[in-house]
Amino acid sequence: RRPLLLGAKTSQEEREKFRPVLAEVARKFFFVCMDIAGVAKTVRIRIEENKVDITDEKLREQLVRQCKVFERLGGIQSEG
């Protein structure tokens, strides 16, 4: 059995303590995702205008790397 976190005495208490923390992480990451969605929309328009041949998967990989998605999520997780 794993140790309980946040000073919780039961797994139920642990979940109750984590819920607001996870809600805040989700709220902050939502705004990161909204920002990236705007970038993706602009990029897709430019791709269509310039008739660039790129797969959705490749575009997704580039957006993740260039928008530093995982770094931004890590920054949110390490706050507070």
Please provide the average confidence, as pLDDT, over all residues in the chain: 95
The pLDDT of residue 80 is: 61
Task: Flag whether pLDDT at 39 surpasses 80.
Answer: yes
3-26 pLDDT, tens per residue? 999 899 999 999 999 999 999 999
DSSP the chain: -PPPSTT-SSHHHHHHHHHHHHHHHHHHHHHHHHHHHHHHHHHHHHHHHTT----HHHHHHHHHHHTTHHHHHHHHHH--
The pLDDT of residue 46 is: 97
